[in-house]
């Protein structure tokens, strides 16, 4: 039994969901009001104890297992939910090696020391005369409330060279540990002294809320540097951390948008004003790792830049790095123009919002919160921002200037996967430069590239595709086979043959059905693996299978091994593999749809008895679902009973 299976066997989904949702029994299932959207009329949220799954038949129209429920409730990704539920179930995810155990113990000790340091700095701010200056600065000049200061754990580092050092020596910590977590600095003579002195302290935590280090801001304007972070340590890597993400990740998921601002105080002020989806890098330019981390929570990202930063070349390069991080996360070191030509397409919605001149985000939101909302709504796509930035202040009557701007913008436009967006950007550029659009089209020979379906995948084998009669696959496999095992079988086939994703999508589209998506799998662990499979065939850095394996966490590798073990007897080159996979996908959809239809009938009957006006809506939904069921049955009917699935 895998760790995931063991966790599911130990945690009752009804008990788990009941902690959030008031459930009442209804036959074999339980119903209640969905916790993920406002609804007080009809209990459209259903828990199915037998299958260990849940589904919202209302606005969400989502469902899954205990992992998906925790992920959606807490705003976590699958590894976080796995760790939480494993701890709750008392399941050991993996027996650590002696080296891993030693490293974990060392990291745990360092984090404990950092937690104590955060408490020490906090007490210096609120309980000492020396901290009064810092407290007055934060309250009066930055407009922060006491509850905000407490929530973010802000503190004060005393001015002495050894105040912090002596405090922790007195508590039994040695100099080696103080150096290892970055609280002190070693001089040329070998002695150590406090790294942070007479500064406001910002505890920096990773996305899981664990202490990683500190940021510090001057109080004396003559001190340098203005901001100082912890040095590189085993826990603190400023290129892989985003300030405030531990508090922002759930709002980012909920709002499906992340806002990146420049400073720590900007983040805190925005959170205080109710805009809790804001984060900040560690005082440096954005890195690919930071953007990859954000992408786990939302692909919609707004960069809130001041008017100077929004116009300089470094920012334009930063925007291109942002775009590159969303496409090929492991590929680094692109130059600005080379990046635009090499990247295939933009996979995230990255926009730029330019702040009023001379104002920071905290000043904007403190003056007028509505103005901040307008700024975010007016954020422009990268292409438009770069286009208008390059044209700003230029003589657009000069043909040479027009040509230079077009030469920089057109490659970026050609990298956009959507033909509608490409045409829109070309039209906008033509209007901006006051030229005919046809001249922009002809200035990029070979720019028109073939693109496939909504995934943006390159066309594969359309000309060489055999046109012979489709071979058929098996009828339904054993009725006793659970949905979980069927999902595992389909994933096992795809892990061995990731290229089949293209053919599955094509076959589904031919049957006028939607493409295969993660939501076709009910179980959160399976959804996580499927998303990796999608990424694997959309990147060109490594072989798809190797990409998936290298992206899996250790607990997920255990799960993938179990899935692969279910298809060991399957010949991936057998011509019937695609048919078997299609049969499995259609079977999964049919099972889910039948369950939805049964419950929709229940809702309809209740609404009719109570004279609820929603009865008409339920009837319309039921008709659509029955039509879809007919389409699925017609697609399934194209296949014979021949099966290659191991029994």
Across 105-109, 264-268, 295-299, 562-566, which has the greatest mean pLDDT? 264-268
Confidence of residue 565 (pLDDT cuts 50, 70, 90): confident
Q: Residue 254 has which token pair?
A: 């909920």
pLDDT of residue 647: 42
Task: Say which DSSP state 205 is in.
Answer: E
| pLDDT tens digits, 159-170 | 999 999 999 999
CA distance 638 to 615: 35
What is the pLDDT, as a whole number, of residue 607?
A: 74
Tokens 């359309």 sit on residue: 462
CA separation for the pair 84, 67 (Å, rounded): 10
The stretch 495-515 carries a mean pLDDT of: 89
Q: Is 107-236 the same fold as 3-89?
A: no
Angle, vertex CA 482, rays to CA 477 and CA 486, nearest 5: 60
Which one of 161-170, 420-429, 492-501, 527-536 scores highest in mean pLDDT? 161-170
Is 483-636 in CATH node 2.40.30? no
**CATH architecture entry for 238-394:** 3-Layer(aba) Sandwich (3.40)
pLDDT band at 272 (very low <50, low <70, confident <90, very high): very high
Tell me which of 548 and 177 has the higher pLDDT: 177
Distances, alpha carbon 509 to alpha carbons 436, 471, 515, in Å: 37, 17, 7
Average pLDDT of every residue of the chain:
81
Helix (H) or strand (E) holding 212: strand 211-218
Fold of 107-236: DNA primase DNAg catalytic core, N-terminal domain (3.90.980)
pLDDT at 14 over 60: yes
Note whether 56 and 41 are within 8 A (CB). no
Confidence label for 111 from pLDDT (cuts 50, 70 and 90): very high
116: CB partners within 8 A, 6+ apart: 168, 171
- Is the confidence at residue 193, as pLDDT, over 90? yes
CATH label, 3-89, candidates 3.90.580.10, 3.40.50.300, 3.40.190.10, 3.30.70.360: 3.90.580.10
Q: What is the pLDDT of residues 356-398, one digit of tens each?
A: 888 989 899 989 999 999 999 999 888 888 888 888 888 999 9
Sequence ranges of the domains in the chain: 3-89, 107-236, 238-394, 395-442, 483-636
Give the confidence band of 119 by pLDDT, cuts at 50, 70, 90: very high
Write down the pLDDT at residue 154.
Answer: 98
- pLDDT of res. 554: 67
With residue 178 as reference, give the H or E element that holds it.
Answer: helix 175-180
3-state secondary structure 551-568: HCCHHHHHHHHHHHHCCC
Angle at which helices 399-414 and 419-433 pack, to 10 degrees? 170
């Amino acid at each position: 039994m895998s760790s995931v299976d063991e966790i599911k066997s130990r945690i009752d989904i009804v008990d788990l969901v009941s902690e959030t949702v008031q459930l009442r029994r209804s036959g074999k299932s339980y119903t209640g009001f969905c916790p993920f959207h406002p609804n007080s009329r009809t209990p459209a949220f259903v828990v199915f104890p037998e299958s260990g799954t849940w589904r919202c038949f209302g606005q969400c129209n989502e469902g899954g297992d205990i992992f998906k429920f925790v992920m959606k409730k807490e705003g976590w990704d699958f590894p976080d939910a796995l760790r939480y539920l494993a701890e709750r179930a008392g399941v050991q995810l993996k027996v650590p090696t002696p080296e891993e155990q030693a490293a974990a113990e060392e990291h745990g000790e360092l984090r404990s020391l950092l937690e104590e340091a955060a408490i020490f700095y906090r007490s210096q701010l609120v309980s000492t005369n020396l901290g009064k200056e810092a407290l007055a600065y934060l309250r009066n000049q930055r407009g922060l409330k006491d509850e905000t200061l407490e929530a973010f754990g802000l503190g004060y580092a005393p001015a002495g060279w050894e105040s912090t050092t002596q405090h922790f020596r007195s508590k039994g910590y040695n100099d080696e540990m103080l150096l290892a977590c970055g609280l002190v600095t070693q001089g040329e003579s070998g002695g150590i002294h406090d790294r942070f002195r007479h500064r406001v302290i910002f505890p920096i935590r990773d996305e899981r809320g664990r202490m990683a280090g500190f940021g510090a801001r001057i109080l004396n304007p003559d001190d340098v540097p203005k901001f100082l972070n912890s040095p590189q340590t085993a826990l603190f890597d400023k290129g892989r951390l985003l300030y405030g993400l531990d508090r922002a990740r759930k709002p980012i998921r909920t709002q499906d948008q992340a806002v990146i601002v420049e400073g720590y105080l900007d983040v805190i002020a925005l959170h205080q004003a109710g805009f809790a989806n804001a984060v900040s890098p560690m005082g440096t330019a954005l890195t690919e790792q930071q953007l990859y981390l954000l992408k786990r929570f939302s692909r919609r990202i707004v960069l809130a830049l001041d008017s100077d930063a929004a116009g300089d070349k470094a920012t334009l390069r930063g925007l291109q790095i942002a775009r590159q991080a969303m496409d090929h996360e492991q590929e680094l070191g692109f130059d600005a123009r080379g990046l635009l030509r090499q990247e295939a397409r933009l996979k995230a919605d990255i926009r730029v919002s330019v702040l009023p001149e001379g104002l920071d985000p905290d000043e904007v939101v403190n003056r007028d919160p509505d103005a901040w909302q307008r700024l975010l709504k007016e954020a422009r796509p990268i292409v438009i921002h770069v286009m208008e930035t390059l044209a700003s202040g230029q003589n657009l009557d000069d043909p040479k200037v027009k040509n230079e701007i077009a030469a920089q913008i057109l490659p970026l436009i050609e990298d956009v996967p959507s033909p509608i967006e490409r045409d829109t950007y070309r039209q906008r550029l033509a209007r901006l430069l006051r030229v005919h659009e046809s001249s922009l089209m002809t200035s990029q020979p070979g720019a028109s590239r073939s693109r496939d379906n909504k995934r943006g995948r390159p066309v594969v084998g359309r000309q060489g595709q055999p046109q012979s009669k489709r071979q058929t696959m098996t009828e339904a496999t054993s009725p006793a086979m659970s949905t979980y095992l069927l999902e595992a079988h389909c994933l096992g086939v795809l892990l061995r043959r990731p290229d089949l994703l293209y053919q599955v999508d094509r076959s589904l589209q031919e049957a006028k059905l939607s493409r295969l998506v993660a939501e076709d799998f009910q179980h959160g662990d399976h959804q996580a693996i499927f998303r990796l499979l999608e990424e694997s065939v959309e990147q060109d850095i490594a072989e798809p299978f190797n990409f998936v394996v290298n992206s899996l966490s250790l607990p997920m590798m255990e799960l993938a091994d179990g899935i692969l073990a279910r298809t060991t007897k399957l010949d991936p080159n057998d011509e019937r593999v695609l048919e078997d996979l299609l049969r499995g996908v259609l079977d999964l959809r049919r099972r889910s749809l039948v369950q939805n239809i049964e419950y929709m009938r229940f809702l309809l009957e209740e609404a009719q008895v109570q004279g609820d006006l929603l009865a008409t809506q339920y009837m319309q939904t039921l008709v659509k679902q029955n039509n879809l069921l007919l389409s699925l049955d017609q697609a399934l009917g194209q296949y014979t009973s021949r099966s290659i699935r191991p029994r």
